[in-house]
């Protein structure tokens, strides 16, 4: 079946999902009719519902190829689009490698949630050895290191994640926290400014930058 050139059918699918809450049906219908490249283009649509629907769909099955396009939606004027984009990006980042490696990074995150930080780092080390381009592997190791108070190691891994995924606002925010704890106020402000460029509507980040620039803690 030919792919639609507009988002009208996509909006129909999305509004049906909002009514019925059948996420499997939404995923099946959209993936059968729309390529992810078309969904990425619809992120810039003048139709609000098309923007919401496209970002939501990419969060369900978009590949890392649409990372930059979905990151643009963080600057959308609509808060729903921005929230959907943030959730979509995390989903995309966690499935950016092979199915096996994606499952492993999920295990790392699970170990961190159980406060098994050393095990999480050990598993991250093995994952990074076989998937050195997987940004989320570095970011999760950075998180575990941060929670153990290893701020320099965590900062280094945040940079490794950002080198592979410059849109990773989580790694940037983590880097800023490490820099502050390492007494690097100026670099921390610069990191937060980079977060603000990605998420210009993030009031918490703007307020944190203002506080640091005024000499606050």
Residue 123 has pLDDT above 90, yes or no: yes
Residues 37 and 116 both lie in one domain? no
Residues 135 and 80 both lie in one domain? no
Residues 138 and 188 both lie in one domain? yes
Cβ-Cβ contacts under 8 Å for 9 (sequence gap 6 or more): 33
Residue 7 has pLDDT above 80, yes or no: no
Residues 33 and 110 both lie in one domain? no
Residues 52 and 85 both lie in one domain? yes
Predicted local confidence at residue 6, as pLDDT: 59
Residue 170's pLDDT band (cuts 50, 70, 90): very high
Distance, first Cα to last Cα, the chain: 58
**3-state DSSP helix/strand/coil % of the chain, to nearest 5:** 75, 0, 25
Of 31, 66, 94, at which residue does a domain stop? 94
Of 76, 94, 112, at which residue does a domain stop? 94
Q: What is the radius of gyration, based on Cα positions, of the chain?
A: 19
Q: Are residues 202 and 196 in contact, defined by beta-carbon separation less than 8 angstroms?
A: yes
Predicted local confidence at residue 217, as pLDDT: 73
Q: Quote the CA–CA distance of 125 and 11 in Å, as a whole number.
A: 43
Residues 181 and 106 both lie in one domain? yes
Residues 103 and 194 both lie in one domain? yes
Residue 4 has pLDDT above 60, yes or no: no
Whether residue 158 lies inside any domain: the answer is yes
Whether residue 188 lies inside any domain: the answer is yes
Whether residue 196 lies inside any domain: the answer is yes
The domain in which residue 139 lies consists of 99-213
Residues 134 and 199 both lie in one domain? yes
Q: How many domains does the chain have?
A: 2
Whether residue 106 lies inside any domain: the answer is yes
Q: What is the CATH number of the domain that holds 90?
A: 1.25.10
Residues 110 and 205 both lie in one domain? yes
Predicted local confidence at residue 2, as pLDDT: 41
Q: Quote the CA–CA distance of 67 and 88 in Å, as a whole number.
A: 9
Residues 122 and 200 both lie in one domain? yes
Predicted local confidence at residue 182, as pLDDT: 98
Per DSSP, the three-state class of 73 is helix
Predicted local confidence at residue 1, as pLDDT: 43
Whether residue 56 lies inside any domain: the answer is yes
Whether residue 2 lies inside any domain: the answer is no
Cβ-Cβ contacts under 8 Å for 138 (sequence gap 6 or more): 124, 128, 157, 158, 160, 161, 164, 171
Residue 168 has pLDDT above 70, yes or no: yes
Of 63, 94, 125, at which residue does a domain stop? 94
> Average pLDDT for residues 167-181, to the nearest whole number?
98
> Of 66, 40, 60, which Cα lies nearest the Cα of 51?
40
Secondary structure letter of residue 1 according to DSSP? -
Residues 78 and 130 both lie in one domain? no
Taking all residues of the chain, what is their mean pLDDT, rounded to a whole number? Answer: 96
pLDDT by residue (tens digit) across 33-71?
999 999 999 999 999 999 999 999 999 999 999 999 999
């Amino acid at each position: 079946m030919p792919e639609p050139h507009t988002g009208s059918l996509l909006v129909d699918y999305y509004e049906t999902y909002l009514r019925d809450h059948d996420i499997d049906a939404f995923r099946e219908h959209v993936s059968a009719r729309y390529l992810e490249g078309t969904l990425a283009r619809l992120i810039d649509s003048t139709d609000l519902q098309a923007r919401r629907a496209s970002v939501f769909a990419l969060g369900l099955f978009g590949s890392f190829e649409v990372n930059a396009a979905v990151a643009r939606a963080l600057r959308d004027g609509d808060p729903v689009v921005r929230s959907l984009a943030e959730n979509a990006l995390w989903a995309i980042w966690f499935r950016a490698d092979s199915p096996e490696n994606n499952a492993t990074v999920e295990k790392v995150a699970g170990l961190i949630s159980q406060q098994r930080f050393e095990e999480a780092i050990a598993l991250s080390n093995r994952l990074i050895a076989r998937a050195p381009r997987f940004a989320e592997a570095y970011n999760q190791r950075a998180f575990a290191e941060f929670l153990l108070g290893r701020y320099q190691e965590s900062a280094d891994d945040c940079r490794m994640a950002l080198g592979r995924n410059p849109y990773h606002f989580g790694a940037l925010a983590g880097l800023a926290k490490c820099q502050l704890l390492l007494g690097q106020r100026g670099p921390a402000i610069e990191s937060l400014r980079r977060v603000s460029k990605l998420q210009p509507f993030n009031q918490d980040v703007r307020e944190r930058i203002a506080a640091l620039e005024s000499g606050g803690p």
